[in-house]
Amino acid sequence: MLPLKLLAAMYGLLIGSFLNVIIHRVPREQSFVTPRSKCPKCSNLIKWYQNIPVFSYLVLRGKCANCKNPISIRYPLVELLIACIAILLFPDNLSLDAFVNYICLFSIACLFVAMFLIDVEFHLLPDKLNLALLIIILPYAFLTTSIANMALGFLIGFGGTYLITYLFYKLRGQIGLGGGDIKLFGVLGILLGPEGILQCIFFSALVGSVIGIILIASGKMNKNKPLAFGPYIIIVATVQIYFPKYFELINIYNLN
């Protein structure tokens, strides 16, 4: 099993390296296929041996080989994070069902990481990533829930939040949720079902409100500045999908 875990870690490092390209290029509306990776400061093309996950960063001491400008620590951290996720999710049982479940859950986790970091930096949840998440979640949901749950979850996640956002805009003249957030709720509703997506909406709003109040009170955020809401949706959905037993401890439907 250890050799397979090591292979999973190597796979995770490679996927993490690709995710770094996604995180950098997709919000800038650049192709993530071509051209080859280059330094964002001097535009020098990065040679293959300078692009080995984590290792190259350490050898280059976190600097571009050409211009010596610092390379963001985010790159090796994302690679290491995805490698850890690949190991933690790797199944003990190597049956076909377990392997399919692993690929789906790992892919969802990778997209969550990319969407989280993009929304923090750009206040944007790109349609391309929401679509990619839909492509993964749709067949996975067919294996784990009923079509009725999928449909109702989507209607609540997308239609419910769209309606609330529309009414909020009519009453206050302000946009409550961005289009990317609404689409993310819709996609997650397919997997989580009606009860799960209601929980996700409630707790992501709760977490976002608490953290927003703390940031405003500490002077680290202007109250008139929009809050990136996607990260809170992703945090709550992560607990629901990967740690459901812990989420049940705070399940609002079990409170009297």
Q: What's the pLDDT at 246? A: 73
Instruction: Map out the domains of the chain as residue ranges.
Output: 1-90, 96-256
Q: What's the pLDDT at 184? A: 97
Q: What's the pLDDT at 256? A: 40
- Mark the ranges of the chain whose per-residue pLDDT is less than 70: 1, 223-224, 247-256
Q: What's the pLDDT at 199? A: 94
Q: What's the pLDDT at 204? A: 94
Q: What's the pLDDT at 39? A: 83
The pLDDT tens digits of the residues spanning 163-196 come to: 989 888 777 777 778 899 999 999 999 999 999 9
Global confidence as pTM: 0.92
Q: What's the pLDDT at 248? A: 66
Q: What's the pLDDT at 250? A: 59
Q: What is the DSSP string of the chain?
A: -HHHHHHHHHHHHHHHHHHHHHHHHGGGT--SSSS--B-TTT-PBPPGGG-STTHHHHHTTTB-TTT-PBPPTHHHHHHHHHHHHHHHH--SS--HHHHHHHHHHHHHHHHHHHHHHHHHHHS---HHHHHHHHHHHHHHHHHHS-HHHHHHHHIIIIIIHHHHHHHHHHHHSS--S-HHHHHHHHHHHHHHHHHHHHHHHHHHHHHHHHHHHHHHHTTSS-TTSPP--HHHHHHHHHHHHH-HHHHHTT-GGG--
